[in-house]
Amino acid sequence: MPRALTIREDTDSPRRALPPRTEPMEAQLCGALLQTGKRRQGYSDAAIRSGPPSRLTPKPPGASLGRMPELPDVTVYVEALDRHATGRRLESMQVASPFLVRTFEPSWREAIGSNVVGFRRLGKRIVFELENDLFFVLHLMIAGRLRWKRAGVKLSPKTGLARFDFDTGTLVLTEAGSKRRASLHVVRGESALADHDPGGLDVLHCDLDAFRTRLRQGRHTLKRAFTDPTIFDGIGNAYSDEILHRAALSPLRRTDQLDDEATRILFDAARAVLEEWIDRTRREVGDGFPDKVTAFRKEMAAHGRFKEPCPRCGTPIQRIAYADRETNYCPACQTGGKLLADRVLSRLMKDDWPKTLDELEDRKRGGE
């Protein structure tokens, strides 16, 4: 009979010292605002001095941003896979993680010995087309990555999820971190494959009328519309920030508030941003294989650049934090100088939350 595990609290151990703040100015501002909000809610001075909850402590820029490969990254992945594996025989395959394959029938083992017909993109998913009408539908999610290695390389016991062996090399699927979110579905036939298509509109292969119709089908914020895979295809947290910055539109503006001219500007911005980043990534990869896929690029205008100067006007980029994501924007270019409400801090601070850049700077100077 297994023994019960007893966890004993060590009351004599000293508390760990908090690490030094990485953003002193923002930390001072948020600390002052948190104290004001706590007093309003009836917290004692002792409770206030104990500090804010860790979930409200300002995080370093980009600390918890999603890093899921998006349309430009997946497009270049597919092109690289075409060069390396199309027409080749899948000689063997190893699945190391029990959480990876999400389907039972057909079995992934049926693909061994088949030739690869080609690869295609399906939203943010990568489709392996094999003989006998068999398809692998791979979703890398946030931390999944593909790497091309020498033939027969062994999987890392820590990050390796699967291995696809060809005579020319081995395709390795890895996933960083402890959570296993990447998924592989095995399906047979085009109709079964179509079930994995979220149905979003491909901005690069549509006209302005189709874009306008899809945009106005519902009443959403622009940020929500661009990151919803059932509305637009393959765009996520990173490139939605870049598109909205290029179009000089607020991420919280409603889709039903755009006139025809603003819709045209947004359409042109979306196409330009995606095409530019596909071309940039292609040049970086060349004839090789993409091994540095990330949503954080120093060349980006807004995404992941909190507190850095906007490349267009020099105003510090701001952010809205929510869950494990954040939206980056330029208040001068996109919101007329207005600071957008942070879901956590603004609810706590209520009227004390700074509404404009000037108020933010005044509060920072007051905390110095």
pLDDT computed for residue 13 by the predictor = 43
Q: What's at 301, amino acid-wise?
A: A
Q: Specify the long-range contacts of residues 276-281, CB closer than 8 Å, at least 24 apart.
A: 277/72, 277/239, 277/242, 278/71, 278/72, 278/75, 278/76, 280/72, 281/72, 281/73, 281/75, 281/76
**CB within 8 Å of 286: residues ≥ 6 apart:** none
Written as one letter, the residue type at 153 is V
Percent residues over pLDDT 70 in the chain: 74
pLDDT of residue 46: 43
What are the pLDDT digits (tens) for 139-179? 999 999 999 999 989 999 999 999 999 999 999 999 998 88
Strands annotated E in 140-263: 144-149, 160-166, 169-175, 183-188
Per-residue pLDDT at 40 exceeds 60: no
Query: What's the whole-number average pLDDT of the chain?
Result: 83
110, 146, 212, 268, 277 from 263: Cα distances, Å: 47, 36, 7, 9, 21
CB 79 within 8 A of CB 287: no
User: Does residue 31 have a pLDDT over 60?
Assistant: no
| Closest CA relative to residue 325, chosen from 255, 239, 231, 238 | 238
Question: Both ends of the chain: CA-CA distance in Å?
Answer: 62
Place of tokens 């370093």: 60
pLDDT category at 27 given cuts 50, 70, 90 is: very low
Handedness of CA 139, 145, 150, 154 (dihedral sign): negative
Q: State the Cα angle at 251 between 249 and 253, rounded to 5°.
A: 75
What's the pTM? 0.78
Residues constituting the chain: 368
The structure tokens listed for 154 are: 């062994």
Catalogue all structural domains in the chain, each as residue range(s) with its CATH number: 24-58+338-367 (no CATH), 71-194 (3.20.190.10), 203-333 (1.10.8.50)
DSSP assignment of 116-176? EEEEEEETTEEEEEETTTEEEEEE-TTTEEEEEESTTPPPPTTTEEEEEEETTEEEEEEE-
Say what percent of the chain tops pLDDT 90: 68
DSSP helix/strand/coil, 110: helix
pLDDT at 49: 43
Q: Give the model's pLDDT for residue 293.
A: 84
pLDDT given for residue 358 in this prediction: 57
